Amino acid sequence: MRAVVVIPTFNARDLLAEAVASVESQTVPVDVVVVDNASTDGTADLLAAGFPRVTVVRNDENLGFGRAVNAGVAAAADADALVLVNNDAVCAPDFVDSLLARFADPSVGMVAGVLLQGDAPERIDSAGIELDTTLGSWDYLWNQPVGALGAARDPVGPCGGAAAYRLPVFRELGGFDETLFAYWEDVDLALRFREAGWRCALAAGARALHKHGQTLGAASPAARRLEAFGRGYVLAKYRVGRRSLLRRAKIAVLDWPVLAVHLVVRREAAPIRERRRARSYGLRGPAHRTPLELATVPFRTALRRQADLLRLRLSGTLPAHFTVERRAYSGD
């Protein structure tokens, strides 16, 4: 099975160099495509001088994560699998090989790799996506010890920072939804793969060190706007709240305290506006089946996790995965 690795990037020259070097050192041959979202930090010179075998797609403007990946796929040669790697991830030599091995099962359309925390590599940053009963997404096994992978189940879908997809299916489904600039695009794609009858497998041995796995301050205003838009868009696209009044109440209980904190504590109304704007975008297209049967996180567990995140946000100790995961693509 032949794979093409696509790495979107924006102004992350030094991190990108480590990521590309790790991908070029894989135990199986791969084609590498870097999609540069109009970086101004010497990324183009770095790639030309240090990585002449890499195909470079240079955008005239920052297109975000999903559109950048789609552009990379359009420029890629034919392959059996698409592998996505964050520009701040350093892959183990057998990362791609471990991902591809899971495609031996013909029912598998997606494979989730494992991101390890950069400052604590014995702990997991993400082993894919899991969902709660409101279609909220959570990083599977976040902050669990690596040993937890031994008893892990398959997630709903892969995290976009360490993922593999059957490339013909990715293309058939239209790739990432370009309405989403950053955040939630991997959730939406996983749901569409599931809707088409494909499942996701976890490749516990496909590991990459996520260099931003450290504790930083609260998320930036741009990140909060993108997160609010993505959540609202997916809720509307999959008509989650239309299932029942109880479902709408659960969404409100989970989501609105966070939006209230943004409004009252940070004096930011933009996340609320983006949430409302996203709803109109999500309702424009055809309704997708609401895949609530994929939920593995009970509502009480999701509520507890959300409360924990709120406390971390207010204290300024929110883990980096929730603050900088898409900064390299959003320009934030």
Q: Per the confidence metrics, is the pTM higher than 0.75?
A: yes
CATH number reported for the structural domain that contains residue 79 in this entry: 3.90.550.10
Residue 315: pLDDT band (50, 70, 90) is: confident
Which residues lie across from 4 on neighbouring strands? 31, 82
Single-letter code of the amino acid located at 313: R
pLDDT at 161: 94
- My answer on whether 233 and 188 are in the same domain is no
**What is the model's pLDDT at position 219?**
62
Does residue 283 form part of some domain?
A: yes
Residues forming beta bridges with residue 130, ordered by sequence position: 138
Q: Are residues 276 and 256 in the same domain?
A: yes
Task: Note whether 67 and 94 are same-domain residues.
Answer: yes
Residues 232 and 87 in one domain: no
| pLDDT band, very low/low/confident/very high, at 113 (cuts 50, 70, 90) | very high
Whether 176 and 324 share a structural domain: no
Residue 146 in any domain: the answer is yes
Domain of residue 185: give its range: 3-210
Is a pLDDT exceeding 70 seen at residue 49? yes
Q: What is the DSSP string of 242-287?
A: GS-HHHHHHHHHHHHHHHHHHHHTS---HHHHHHHHHHHHHTTSPP
End position of a domain, from candidates 180, 210, 240? 210
Residues 225 and 204 grouped into a single domain? no
**The domain boundary residue, chosen from 210, 237, 267:** 210
The type of residue at 307 is A
**pLDDT tens-digit series, residues 241-294:** 987 899 999 999 999 988 998 899 889 999 999 999 999 999 998 989 888 899
Residues 118 and 191 in one domain: yes
Domain identity same for 315 and 233: yes
The candidate with the shortest Cα–Cα distance to 47, out of 57, 29, 72, 211, is 57
Supply the pLDDT for residue 213. 39
Examine the domain organization and report whether 20 and 112 are in the same domain. Answer: yes
* Residue where a domain terminates, one of 152, 185, 210: 210
Query: What's the average model confidence in pLDDT over 210-239?
Result: 80
Using alpha carbons only, give the angle 103, 108, 113 rounded to the nearest 5 degrees: 70
154 & 291 share domain: no
Looking at residue 319, its pLDDT comes to 58
CB atoms within 10 A of CB 228: 25
Confidence band, pLDDT 50/70/90 cuts, at residue 320: low
Bridge partners (DSSP) listed for residue 89: 210
Q: Is residue 252 part of a domain?
A: yes
**Residues recorded for the chain:** 332
Q: Check if the beta carbon of residue 71 is closer than 8 Å to that of residue 47.
A: no
Contact 66, 180 (CB under 8 A): yes
Domain presence at residue 147: yes
pLDDT given for residue 158 in this prediction: 98
State the CB neighbour count (10 A cutoff) for residue 290. 18
Judge if 134 and 250 occupy the same domain: no
The first and second tokens of residue 162, run together, are 């360490």
* 216 belongs to a structural domain: no
> Is pLDDT at 99 greater than 80 in this prediction?
yes
Confidence of residue 209 (pLDDT cuts 50, 70, 90): very high
Phi first, then psi: give them for residue 93, nearest 5 degrees: -55, -30
Six token digits for residue 142: 């976040």
The answer to whether position 215 is within a domain reads: no
Is 111 a member of any domain?
Answer: yes
Taking only the tens place, the pLDDT of each residue in 170-191 is: 999 999 999 999 999 999 999 9
Number of domains in the chain: 2
Percent of residues, the chain, with pLDDT higher than 70: 92
Neighbours of 21 (CB within 10 A): 13
Within-domain flag for 135 = yes
| 112-133 mean pLDDT | 96
* Cα(19)–Cα(88) distance, integer angstroms: 6
Shared-domain flag, residues 181 and 237: no
CA distance 325 to 44: 22
